[in-house]
Every structure is written in C-alpha cells, then in structure tokens.
C-alpha cells in the first residue's frame, strides 16, 4: 500500500526494553507493545517481551551480536520509515535505554528527517540494572556522589580517543563501562596510568538482571586476569569505584535460594502460572514446556445427561480445578448456573479446587485432610454414602478408585468425562531441546504429566533425564516416576506448588551460590 505522508497515521515508538528482566520494561513501553502492528527488535531485548505484542503483529529481528550486524543501521532506519509510511504502529524495541549507546538518537533523527511521527520511551539501562541487581547501588553518600556512563568500545575508525582519561580516572566516582569487555585491559591500564588507585574495586556483571547473571569482583590491578581465567565474555557492564565494595552487604538477586538453577516445568499451559512464578521469584530460570494440554471431551453427551439430572444429585465431587472449570462452563452453556446445585453437597480435593469453586460463588462443604482421591474417599465415607447419588465429573485418565469404592460402599456414582488430557502439540521438540541444553531439575505436578513427558521423549528419556533432579508434587506422582525407573530426588511435603518450591529450595540449599 502506498500512502502519502500527509494522510498516514503510522507512528514509531522507540522503546527501551530494559536490561533483560522482562519486569523492568516500563508501563508506557508495555502499552506501546500491546498496540504494535510491527515490532523491530534486536539481540539484547529479551525475546519474552514479544509475547506482549498482539499475536498477529509482524516481528522483525534486526539484532546484532558483538559487532556482527544482522541488518545494517541504514536499512533498519529505512525499515522503520517504510513500515510507518504504510500506516503501521511500529515498536522499535531496543535493549536497555534506546538512546544510551543504542543508536536511538540516530533512528529518531532519521524519522524526524523523513517527517514521521515518533515517540521515545526511555528504558532501564543495562548499567543501572546490572549494577543494582549485583547489589551495587552506584551512588551512596559515604562512597561516591558522581557517576559516569562510558562506552568501552569507541568507534574503531577514530584515530584519537575522545575519552579524556585523566579526568575520568579521578574526576568521577563510579564509572560504568558499556561494551568494554574486548578492551578491559586497556580501560584498567588507562585508569591506573591516569591516577586511579590499582586497588580500586571493580565488578564485571554479565547478563545482568537475568537468571544467567554472573558477577566477578576484583580490583583495577587484577580484574583483567580474573575475567580471562573465568572466561567471562560480553555482554557485561564494568563497574569501577569504591561503591563496588557494598556488594558484599547488599547482594540480593543472586543470593535467592534457586538462583542459577534451570528448572523445567511440565504443567499444562494456563496452569503453569503459579509454579513458574514462584520458581522465578525464588531466583530460578524457568523453562516451561507443558507436556499435556487440557481439551474438551470428544462430545458432551455424558456430561450433559448428568447435568440434566442435577436436581437428583446428593453429592458433587470435584477433584481438580479443571473439573471445576469444565463443569461450570458446561453448566452455563446449557443455560443453567450455580442455583442448579441448590441442596447439593459439594466435596473438593484441596484448597485450590475450593478456591476455584469460591470464584463461582459457591462454598465447598467438604475439604479432606489428605489432598488426593484417597482423602476424598475417606471424607465421603465418613459423611455416609449409602443410597447417595454422587456426580463425579473427571478426566478420561482419572483413576477408578472413587467410582469403585463409592459404588462398593452403596452409592450410585455417575462419572462423566468432563475434560481430556492429551500430549501437547509441538512439545516433543521443545522438551528435547530444553533437556539437551541442560536443566538442574524437572518438576512433575501429576502422574499424567509424567506419562506424557516420557511418551514425548520415547527411548531417549533415561538418557535425557539422567543428570536431572526429578521433582514430584506428591506420592502418587512419585510412584508413577519410580514405576518408569526414574529416581525421585525431590518430593513436596504437601501436594501444593508452594510446598514443591520449598522442597526444591531445600534440595539445592547447600550449593546455591551465584558468584564465580
């Protein structure tokens, strides 16, 4: 489509993506991203942020890794102008702050020259993010009152350095060098040559604010050797100044219990939320790969028939959040609502199921002590089931325990399939890739997650899981794992996400240390 400048509504937002932690994107940046029709992004912008753009937005990677441009700058400028001319809302997502050593100024200049509308959304720059996540506050009245941001990689075609080393060395308290890893030796030499004490503390923070963050501390005199020994490469920020000493006291990000651990979460999409959030909050890098997905049953006949008879039902048994969701969605689809359960006793399996029920405006009458089918059975038997009509909507994979035992105890049980689980589409390749790249632990929240995971991995399962700490939500899941010959390293004390996270923390407690 060709449109003239005067009638086009295209706009380019130059958005700072922040240093890596997706939580450090600004609210304004997120607003722009949510409206984007085109997202042009590069290497240092966290790709997870792309999930916030509309699903049909065009995503164009123009990234560069150290000095290796995917698309030359002129072409990036031309691309932004072209897309905006088409009338598109374009988000140019750049790592850190767009205008700090990021060519945002150049891109904005070209847009202005071309007469395009643009906006600049600042971002948390890597220097601030990396230092602060390493526990280095950059200024502090007792240590330093000034801060300098410096490129450690000047334009190589320049004959004379434009950096005034003598002033930088002694005139500024804290110095942050960007893109300086290739020149670390020169940087430290120049600073010492121009009067900065060799014992001045220096920190090098690589992949700051991300689960891969690594921090190395030394002095101007020895940091270059230390970096070489540790083979620490870019991207990293070099922090020079007395303030670095505060890390010892203020270290927080890489002190969290699961920091540096890569943990596989195999829960179904839409359910992984709290487990992955909790693991992330404890510092781990979470690799999500749902091995199964929850889908409606092949047809609704069985469940519909049961719902048609709801007024006859004495007890409704709900043993999962999925059961609650599918039961009520179908109830609504049939033009009914919670009033149809008037007089029905409701038994749930645990607090999560009860909470899901509460969201529908209903209270659970029964919450067993043991949060599993056996617990529900014991509670029901205690309640008395002789002659009772029990409805138990469930998945096609649910064990028969409740049906057989309740029937044997004199109840009339109807157990329609309300939802099904199946192997998640495309999961096999992703799962294999995650395990090949290596994880420290793999979590399994149900027997079906185990079954599907092993099915997806096939014969390679033992080999791929050999070095992984296998973590289970409870004894049933553990039994399934063991039945398949897997050793269970971690088992939650109670079948809740919180308890699983706690068990993982205990397991890794002795070895948790993020520094090199």
Residues annotated catalytic, as ranges: 42, 64
Using the rule CB under 6 A, which residue among 101, 118, 253, 259 binds ligand SAH? 101
Nearest distance from C-beta of residue 106 to ligand SAH, angstroms: 12
Using the rule CB under 6 A, which residue among 97, 107, 405, 502 binds ligand SAH? 97
Distance CA 367, CA 379 (A): 8
Using the rule CB under 6 A, which residue among 11, 38, 130, 150 binds ligand SAH? 130
Helix (H) or strand (E) holding 151: strand 147-151
Nearest distance from C-beta of residue 149 to ligand SAH, angstroms: 9
Helix (H) or strand (E) holding 196: none
Subset of residues 16 to 55 that bind ligand SAH, contact rule: CB under 6 A:
19-20, 44
Using the rule CB under 6 A, which residue among 10, 95, 201, 260 binds ligand SAH? 95
Q: Which is nearer to ligand SAH, 173 or 235 (CB)?
A: 235
Using the rule CB under 6 A, which residue among 237, 289, 441, 457 binds ligand SAH? 237
Structure token digits, residue 63: 């990234």
Q: Which is nearer to ligand SAH, 136 or 205 (CB)?
A: 205
Cα dihedral sign, 84-87-88-90: positive
Nearest distance from C-beta of residue 462 to ligand SAH, angstroms: 36
Q: Which is nearer to ligand SAH, 12 or 179 (CB)?
A: 179
- For 374-422, the DSSP string reads HHHHHHHHHH--TT-EEE--EETT--SHHHHHHHHTT-EEE--EEEEEE
Nearest distance from C-beta of residue 212 to ligand SAH, angstroms: 9
Inter-CA distances, 294 with 248, 323, 411, 449, Å: 47, 11, 29, 11
Paired residues of 317 in beta bridges: 347
208 binds ligand SAH (CB under 6 A): yes
Sole window of 113-121, 205-213, 270-278, 461-469 interacting with ligand SAH (rule: CB under 6 A): 205-213
Q: Which is nearer to ligand SAH, 15 or 246 (CB)?
A: 15
The closest residue (CB) to ligand SAH is 96
Distance CA 16, CA 91 (A): 10
Distance CA 315, CA 411 (A): 10
Structure token digits, residue 351: 């607090």
Binding mask 148-187 for ligand SAH (x = CB under 6 A): ------------------------------xx--------
Using the rule CB under 6 A, which residue among 126, 232, 294, 364 binds ligand SAH? 126
Print burial letters for 171-195: b (CB count within 10 Å at least 16), e (below 16): ebbbbbbbbbbebbeebbebbbeee
Distance CA 483, CA 322 (A): 26
Using the rule CB under 6 A, which residue among 205, 282, 349, 442 binds ligand SAH? 205
* Chain-centroid distance, C-alpha 358: 28
SS (H, E, C) 273-289: HHHHHHHHHCCCEEEEC
Subset of residues 401 to 420 that bind ligand SAH, contact rule: CB under 6 A:
none
Using the rule CB under 6 A, which residue among 10, 29, 63, 102 binds ligand SAH? 102
Sole window of 203-211, 257-265, 430-438, 480-488 interacting with ligand SAH (rule: CB under 6 A): 203-211
211 binds ligand SAH (CB under 6 A): no
**Residue 20, preceding peptide bond in cis (omega within 30° of 0):** no
Cα dihedral sign, 492-495-499-504: positive
Sole window of 123-131, 273-281, 424-432, 456-464 interacting with ligand SAH (rule: CB under 6 A): 123-131
Q: Which residues bind ligand SAH (CB under 6 A)?
A: 19-20, 44, 94-97, 100-102, 125-126, 130, 178-179, 205-210, 234-237
């Amino acid at each position: 489509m060709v449109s003239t400048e005067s009638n086009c509504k295209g706009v380019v937002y130059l958005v700072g993506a922040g240093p890596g932690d997706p939580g450090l994107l600004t609210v304004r940046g997120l607003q722009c991203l949510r409206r984007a029709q085109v997202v042009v992004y590069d290497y240092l912008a966290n790709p997870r942020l792309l999930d916030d753009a509309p699903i049909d937005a065009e995503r164009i990677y123009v990234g560069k890794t150290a000095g290796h441009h995917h698309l030359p700058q002129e072409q990036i400028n031309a691309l932004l102008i072209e897309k905006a001319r088409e009338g598109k809302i374009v988000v140019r997502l750049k790592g850190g702050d767009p205008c700090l050593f990021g060519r945002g100024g150049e891109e904005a200049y070209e847009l202005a020259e071309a007469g395009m509308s643009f906006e600049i959304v600042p971002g948390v720059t890597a220097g601030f993010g990396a230092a602060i996540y390493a526990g280095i506050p950059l200024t502090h009245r007792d240590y330093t009152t000034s801060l300098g941001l410096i490129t450690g990689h000047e334009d190589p075609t320049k004959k004379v350095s434009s950096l005034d080393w003598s002033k930088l060395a002694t005139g500024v308290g804290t110095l942050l060098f960007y893109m300086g890893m290739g020149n670390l030796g020169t940087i430290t030499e120049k600073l010492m040559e121009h009067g900065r004490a060799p014992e001045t503390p220096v920190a090098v923070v690589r992949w700051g604010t991300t689960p891969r963050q690594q921090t190395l501390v030394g002095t101007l005199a020895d940091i270059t050797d230390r970096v070489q020994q540790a083979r620490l490469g870019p991207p990293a920020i070099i922090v020079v100044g007395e303030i670095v000493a505060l890390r010892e006291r203020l270290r927080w990000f890489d002190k969290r219990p699961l920091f540096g651990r890569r943990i596989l979460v195999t829960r179904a999409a839409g359910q992984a939320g709290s487990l992955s959030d909790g693991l992330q909050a404890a510092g781990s890098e979470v690799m999500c790969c749902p091995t199964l997905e929850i889908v409606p049953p092949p047809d609704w006949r069985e469940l519909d028939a049961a719902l048609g008879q709801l007024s006859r039902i004495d007890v409704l048994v709900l043993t999962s959040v999925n059961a609650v969701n599918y039961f009520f969605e179908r109830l609504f689809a049939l033009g009914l609502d919670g009033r149809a359960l008037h007089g029905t006793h409701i038994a749930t399996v645990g607090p999560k199921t009860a909470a899901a029920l509460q969201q529908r405006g209903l209270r659970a009458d029964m919450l067993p002590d043991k949060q599993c089918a056996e617990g529900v059975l014991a509670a029901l038997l205690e309640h008395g089931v002789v002659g009772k009509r029990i409805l138990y909507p469930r998945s096609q994979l649910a064990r028969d325990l409740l049906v057989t035992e309740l029937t044997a105890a004199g109840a009339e049980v109807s157990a329609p399939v309300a939802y099904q689980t199946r192997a998640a589409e495309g999961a096999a390749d992703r799962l294999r890739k995650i395990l090949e790249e290596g994880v420290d632990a793999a979590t399994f929240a149900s027997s079906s997650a185990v079954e599907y995971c092993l099915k997806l991995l096939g014969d390679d399962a033992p080999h791929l899981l050999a070095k992984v700490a296998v973590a289970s939500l409870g004894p049933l899941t553990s039994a399934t794992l063991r039945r398949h010959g897997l050793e269970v390293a971690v088992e939650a004390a109670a079948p809740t996400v919180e308890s699983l996270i706690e068990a993982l923390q205990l397991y890794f407690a002795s070895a948790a240390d993020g520094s090199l």
